[in-house]
Structure 1
Amino acid sequence: MAMPDTQGVLQVIVRLRALLARARELKLAHTIEPPLPSSEFQGDLGLPFGTTRFVAVELAARQLFEELVGTTAIEDSNFVHIWNLLDILSICGDQGQCEPSLVWWLIEELLETQRIDGCRTILDYLESRRERLIAKNFIRQKDIVILRAFNELLRRLSRAEEAVLCGRVFIFLFQSFPLGARSSVNPKGEFHTDNVTTFEKQDRVLDDSDMSIDATPSVGKLAVQPEQTPIIIEPDSSLSEDALYPIFWTMQQVFSNPPTLFREEVFEEFKKGLNATLTKFNEVATVSQGTTESHKSTKRKAEDSENDDEFGNTFNPKYLTSRDLFSLELSDLAFQRHTLVQALILIDFLLSLTDKAKKRLAHITVQKALQYEYTLSEKNAEWAEKTKKAISKYISDGPDGTFYYRMVSTVLSRDKNWVRWKLENCPIITRVPLSSERFNDGTKSAKVACTSRPIRATPGTLDLKFLSAVGNAHSRDTSNISARIPDMQALVTKVSATELDLEMADGEEAELLHDAKASKIWRALRQGSRTKLSLFEKAEDGKDLQVFVETLG
């Protein structure tokens, strides 16, 4: 690749300094906002042309960038010059006067040079310019640089101490990348087996004497590994906290690598461990937000109801495994829910491996990496269904349990659709937008079809006046039938209620509710067609029946 001469790079530096001076005139504030107006930097910006122009601009921009970063702290008001430089390079990249990804290369370097507080400020800038930064040349030019920069930032962040900043990074990525992008799909279905849980080792084998609270075994350190020998326990025993401690933390091995359950002996021990954990959760008093209460009580104390950020305050990505803390953790509502949600995710994975579930995918080409030869037996499937119902009931009975379980259930149902998309080898989601001409033609046709027009008699038409006499003779019966037909408001209310039930249902119950919902929608549409046929285009295939109710009367 040809390199530009030094004189050419110096000319670009001079030109960039002139653009920065112009930016200072346009933007008097020393803050991130507002962004530089693109309209003021349109057209030829005086940057060099030729085969080496992109290289010259990059070298000049890097030299100027390093000079500014090396002499200005991010807290300093003069750091606005760097924000202006990034704005200018973003505009130039969109106009084809420099490499489109140049601005992201510099942002990547800026993230590497700053501390965590500085990275927050940089993210403030990125969030305020997101639409501009990704508007053009995103795929194959900017996307890889963005992923690389943010992945490196996430490696530096503590998920426990910097949870909010991590969340902002993920939200930025979710908003930037298209829904069908395969960047974070994990097409091979790999599990996070590197997530090893270390806990205190018990040096002696548990016996009947260990089933008491006073048992005090000697301890060391033990890291759960995939080939670790499972701890043997009795299926329906109510274990002491000391006995449950190693069993509970050993389950993390399965949560991080579900295919280990394909070994029957591991599956049996996991079932016993999860059953023992549920039994213990039912026995202990639940502690939530500094108050102690029975898990069966659904009422919250007055001081608890004042805190609207309960779930956010209890976030913890990885709990401590000290034996001394285990008793307190077992009573913590957030800890219990964290564990039970893990169990729900795992159970959904197991139920996707039943013979019935596999037959549903027989008509599609399933991605080989996500195909498992293992089939869940009827016995284990029955246990999984029973355990899922028990966990769902336990979560729903707690403080704000109905809301919490509905939130979890909604997320898991969305995840099933995402998994199905991956199984189908990630087909293209993007659809070609409908042209304005075709949309207008369809709108006109619909209006013509819905317009009320009198029926004209044609020669040879059968005289149907006799139907009026028959109708008068049976008017009483007809009025009785009409009285039994629900009005539109009642039908719309029933559809809404069925939708709420459907969100928390699965299996055969979901299929029944789906059929019931379709029946109610059809009845509502039939009722609306009598007087509100012109509103059908607003109902969107029965998705917005409220439009019929709002226009009644």
Structure 2
Amino acid sequence: MDEAVSTLDLEKVRSTYKSMKDIDFHSMLLLRFLNFVFQVAKEGKCIELFGNERVVIFEAFSLCFIITLMFFTDLCSRSITVAVIQDIFDIIPISQCEKCFSIVENNLPQWKSAFFFESCRNLVLRMCNDLLKRLSRTVNTSFCGQILVLLARALPLCEKSGLNLASRFNTDNITNYETVSSFASVFRTFTLLFRDIPVDYSLYVKFWQLQSFFSSPSSCYERGKWAIFQHVCMFILLQLQLNDSQFRRYFLVQCLIIYQYLLADVRSKDKSFVLNDEQIRFVVECIDRCYQLLCETHPRGEYFAHCIKVILEREKEWSEWKNKNCEDFTQFGEKERMGMFKRLIFFILDLGNPELTKLWNINPDMLNACEDEKRKFAPIVEDFIRDPLDELDPEQQVEDQYKSVNNEAFQWRATRLLMYKSPVYFQVVLLFINCSFEVNTIFMF
């Protein structure tokens, strides 16, 4: 069996399995032994292929393919198809895991089918969680996101795996900041480098002391700690306008998150955790102030504040969904199946009209038709200015506002016509400009 699996020979595996099975008919002990032998052979092949750092991806695909074929020929169980890939990930480095993860993505549609889902769901979830524990959130950010996206595709919409139903907080995340003694040495060095910037240790302590409340928001409901939280949340420290806009945004978003938790109705929250009217008024004012500061923080402050508001609204809806014991969304869907839309038939329409048809049929050569002598484009100068000259005659008694020479449209057409007909037009214009300049100069002196 070991040799058959190592050579990826399905026929040899089938014949070996049959010969071993014929020794003792339907013996449960023999079947258990066969499963154990197959498990050892499968793990041996994984170690042989992926014990080295350089992994041949083609061989990994081949191994998974033959395991799938073995299942369809009743040579192994359904869970073996996932266990093989899980063993591969356990013995190869992270750099090779990212290359081999496409195997999981390609086999996901098969594992999501009704026949495989119940037996493979927990194995896929465990395999992805084991990978996430090995990865760094800062170094392997894209790979972590790839795994989380796959889990979102693999699990149903209302799956409760990974939900923090009890609303527990990660209190192990402790922020360490400088003590008075260590701050004194840092302060001396800082003052030598930046003498014009004031440094206040009390402000430094108040600012970083907020992180303890951010990691455990429930502590804000205690009367003594609420006084500390309210004191250090005063926006006097923010009026210093932290120079780093990104750092300022991080802090303001943290404030908005904890404010939303304080006002939210969480089922797992202790019944005694209730804010009075004065505390609620303080939180609401702080929320408005945070959004105002986010809008004033560049770049694209208003857009960033709007995005944060939308994200927190969705977080609020998700919290309400958990309060309702994670109801199945599919129950609220429409029972009747939506009918299929008919494909629109695009008809060939005649977009023309009789006038355009007549225009296009005047002459086969449109350029010659435009240059035809019968087409009068530019009028004669004498005919064009005859009426405006008559309007300038005092005997005609035409008011200035009705004279054509004062009409901007006529002025533009007359300028175009004179430029086209008169070769001395520009000389006359320049002479007029020079005369006007000389007259203005004389009056100035």
Q: Which residue of 2 aligns with 1:113?
A: 91
Report which of the two structures shows the higher radius of gyration computed on alpha carbons.
2
Is 1:334 equivalent to 2:246 in the alignment?
Answer: yes
Structure 1 distance, partners of 2:11, 2:215, is 51
- Other-structure match for 2:352: none
The aligned counterpart of 2:41 is: 63
Match of 1:157 in 2: 135
Change (3 A) 1:335 1:432: closer
Overall identity of the aligned pairs, in %:
21
Call closer, same or farther: CA 1:137–1:264 in 2, change over 3 Å: farther
Would you say 1:349 and 2:261 are equivalent positions?
yes
Q: Are 1:266 and 2:225 an aligned pair?
A: yes
8 A Cα contact 1:104 1:145, kept in partner: yes
8 Å contact kept, 2:50–2:91: no
Instruction: State the superposition RMSD in angstroms.
Output: 3.8
Query: Secondary structure of the residue that 1:100 maps to in structure 2?
Result: coil
Aligned positions, number: 324
Give 1:82 deviation, angstroms. Answer: 2.1
Q: Which amino acid in 1 is paired with 2:240?
A: E
CA shift in 2, pair 1:333/1:18, >3 Å: same
For the residues of structure 1 that align with 2:264 and 2:136, how far apart are their CA atoms? 33
Q: 1:380 aligns with which of 279, 283, 300?
A: 279
The answer to whether the 8 Å contact 1:12/1:56 transfers is: no
8 Å CA contact 2:51–2:92 kept in 1: the answer is: no
Displacement of 1:139 in angstroms is: 4.8
Correspondence for 2:292: 393
User: Residues 62 and 435 from structure 1, CA distance in 2 versus in 1: closer, same or farther, beyond 3 angstroms?
Assistant: farther
Q: Match for residue 89 of structure 1? A: 67
Listed one character per residue, the Cα deviations across residues 207-266 of structure 1 (whole Å, up to 9, x for unaligned) are: xxx9xxx9659xxxxxxxxxxxxxxxxxxxxx9453222222221111111111111121
How far did 1:133 drift?
A: 3.3
Match of 2:159 among 163, 170, 181: 181
Q: Does 1:243 align with 2:234?
A: no
Question: Could you tell me which amino acid in structure 1 is paired with residue 109 of structure 2?
Answer: E
Pair 1:119–1:439, CA change in 2 (3 A): closer
SS at the partner of 2:165? coil
- Give me the whole-angstrom Cα distance separating, in 2, the residues matched to 1:181 and 1:383: 37
TM-score (norm 2): 0.62
User: 5 Å matches for 1:254-293?
Assistant: 254-275=213-234, 278-284=235-241
Q: Is 1:408 aligned to 2:304, yes or no?
A: no
Residue matched to 2:211: 252
- Alignment check: 8 A CA contact 1:202 1:246 kept: no
**Paired amino acid for 1:115:** P
Structure 1: which 5+ runs fail to align? Answer: 1-8, 23-43, 218-238, 285-329, 354-365, 444-553
Aligned partners of 1:257, 1:414: CA distance in 2, in Å?
A: 21
Q: Supply the AA of the counterpart residue of 2:325.
A: N
Question: In the TM superposition, what is the alpha-carbon distance from 1:186 to its structure 2 partner?
Answer: 1.6
Residue 230 of structure 1 corresponds to none
Return closer, same or farther for 1:241/1:122 CA change in 2, 3 Å cut-off.
farther
Is the 1:255–1:346 contact (alpha carbons within 8 Å) kept by the matching residues of 2?
Answer: yes
The alpha-carbon distance between structure 1 residues 373 and 63, as it changes in their structure 2 partners (threshold 3 A), is same
Q: 1:72 to 1:181 in 2, by over 3 A?
A: closer
In the TM superposition, 1:461-476 aligns within 5 A as none
The answer to whether the 8 Å contact 2:220/2:226 transfers is yes
Which of 144, 148, 169 aligns to 1:191? It is: 169
Query: Does structure 1 residue 18 correspond to structure 2 residue 18?
Result: no
TM-score under structure 1 normalisation?
0.51
Matched, 1:80 2:58: yes
Paired letter, 1:122: C
CA distance in 1 between counterparts of 2:84 and 2:64 reads 8
**1: CA distance between counterparts of 2:232 and 2:170?**
21
Query: Per the alignment, do residues 243 and 83 of structure 1 end up closer, same or farther by CA in structure 2, a change over 3 Å counting?
Result: same
Residues 274, 73 of structure 1: alpha-carbon distance in 2 compared, 3 angstrom cutoff? same
Residue 432 of structure 1 and its aligned partner are, at CA, apart by 8.9
